[in-house]
Amino acid sequence: MSRNLSQYATIFARWGGPSQEVKVALLGASGSVGWKSLAAVSGMPNAKIVAVVGRNRERLEKTLKEDTLPGFDKSKVQIYAGERGFETMLRNEEIQVIISATPSKVHTEQGVAIAEAGKNLLIEKPLALSIPECNILIDAFRRADKQLGVIFQLRYNPEIRALKRLIQEGNFGEIGMGHILVQKGRDERYWTKKEWFGVQAEGGDAVSNQSIHQLDNMLYLVCFEQIDSVFALCQILDRNRPVADPSWRSKDATDSAAALFKLNNGGWITAHMSTAENKHAEHRNNIQSISLTSTGSNNYIKLGGEKTDQFEVINLERIWYKAYYDEDGEVRFLPEKETPPATWRKKGLPDPYLLFSHYREIAEFLDCVARDRRFPLDGIEAKKSLSLVIAIYESAVNQQEIKLADVFENKVGRSVQDYLL
């Protein structure tokens, strides 16, 4: 698929990057998400791509050619491929930051090696597949005195940030109820695309792989400490899922889950998550939404659309609001009857889900490394969303309500890999 990356160049230049030059290697750059980080960093002022790393050289050459912004100089980028590519790259002293998009099952082993090599790591979600693995990674980076960040790029979407601001500034009220919906119709083309997709033992399930983004959005908006416990059900809805190669692997991962999160204030949030609904739709359908209601004032907001980037309802204190986008692409709310400044637009930046949110998170991480400032979306923060995932599985398997704090503290729960239904 050829991508029109030229549209991003001017916007990226305006947004800027880290305050000083940071030298970066992209690990897993040729995968289904790794190219986004490569594209973003290739257009980022003050970020220098030193290397790309993976197993297959041709795929890395192709991604360098096709997934970098126009004008990017590929000639100085080193390619580390093959069996020993990863460890050889670690010996390159020039590299300060590794941005990793390798499959979830190798995150812990590779992450520890990266920390021991004295490099900073920004890694795709989920941080790991169990709480002990998260702890191993957190400790390794603490010992090395290097930064560990995790990519949950939806937190950088203008719409989610606007909602967060509204809550933080006290203009929404205390959250009393919420709903999350994830319906991603995955068909045969998807399950057979990569070895690990749809394989529970490798974190290819609908909860830890797909739905964790919306679970993390919920944590970002509602706050982990406000959630007391989880009660959940999980199942495999699509029993006809193809088995890519029966001799070595079966596509046995959980594809559907429902969860009830009890809040400390007596309220609750429900989550409905599935990759098996609507899979025969002509277009691969991504339906995702999050809605929140406050107690007392009954303020209500619903964010929906294929990419959770459209405000469907904004009703605060009996006034309907509209969302506009300012010059920087940030969301501004105005009462429906008020006229926005001429520079505000009704539509957001082109396809923020695709690249913008990755860009913003990476730019912040690199700036934190440059300024020696702590990156907020760190290992501990990412352990929280994995705690939700483990709590969902633990509850479904034991048909019990599970206290979230017990999972976070590793008193309860196993690895995502162990929850075969």
Ligand X SMILES: NC(=O)c1ccc[n+]([C@@H]2O[C@H](COP(=O)([O-])OP(=O)(O)OC[C@H]3O[C@@H](n4cnc5c(N)ncnc54)[C@H](OP(=O)(O)O)[C@@H]3O)[C@@H](O)[C@H]2O)c1
| Identity of the residue, 130 or 293, whose beta carbon is nearer to ligand X in the bound complex | 130
Cβ of residue 154: shortest distance to ligand X, in angstroms?
A: 8
Does residue 157 interact with ligand X by CB under 6 A?
no
Residues 162-201 that bind ligand X (CB under 6 A): 194
| Identity of the residue, 153 or 211, whose beta carbon is nearer to ligand X in the bound complex | 153
- Binding segment for ligand X among 52-60, 281-289, 329-337, 341-349 (CB under 6 A)? 52-60
Does residue 108 interact with ligand X by CB under 6 A?
no
Pick one of 5, 30, 175, 413: the residue that binds ligand X (CB under 6 A). 30
Does residue 249 interact with ligand X by CB under 6 A?
no
- Binding segment for ligand X among 68-76, 101-109, 258-266, 334-342 (CB under 6 A)? 101-109
Cβ of residue 163: shortest distance to ligand X, in angstroms?
A: 19
Pick one of 124, 202, 367, 378: the residue that binds ligand X (CB under 6 A). 124
Does residue 141 interact with ligand X by CB under 6 A?
no
Cβ of residue 25: shortest distance to ligand X, in angstroms?
A: 11
Sign of CA dihedral 63, 379, 43, 311: positive
Q: List Cα–Cα distances, 334 to 249, 314, 325, 339, in angstroms.
A: 53, 10, 11, 8
Pick one of 33, 177, 237, 380: the residue that binds ligand X (CB under 6 A). 33
Interface pattern 54-83 for ligand X (x via CB under 6 A)? xxx--x------------------------
Does residue 251 interact with ligand X by CB under 6 A?
no
Distance CA 127, CA 385 (A): 9
| Identity of the residue, 116 or 228, whose beta carbon is nearer to ligand X in the bound complex | 116
Per rule CB under 6 A, count of chain residues that contact ligand X: 22
- Binding segment for ligand X among 2-10, 30-38, 155-163, 236-244 (CB under 6 A)? 30-38
Alpha carbons within 13 angstroms on the beta-carbon side of residue 366 total 30
Cβ of residue 215: shortest distance to ligand X, in angstroms?
A: 13
Does residue 31 interact with ligand X by CB under 6 A?
yes
Cβ of residue 42: shortest distance to ligand X, in angstroms?
A: 16
Does residue 28 interact with ligand X by CB under 6 A?
yes
Does residue 134 interact with ligand X by CB under 6 A?
no
- Strand 97-100's sheet: what is its strand order? 78-80, 47-53, 22-27, 97-100, 120-124, 148-151
Q: Which residue is nearest to ligand X (CB)?
A: 31
- Strand 319-325's sheet: what is its strand order? 331-335, 319-325, 310-316, 300-304, 286-294, 175-184, 268-274, 256-263, 227-235, 402-403
- Binding segment for ligand X among 14-22, 99-107, 256-264, 336-344 (CB under 6 A)? 99-107
Pick one of 11, 50, 79, 106: the residue that binds ligand X (CB under 6 A). 106
Does residue 209 interact with ligand X by CB under 6 A?
yes
Binding region for ligand X (CB under 6 A): 28, 30-34, 54-56, 59, 86, 101-104, 106, 124-125, 151, 153, 194, 209
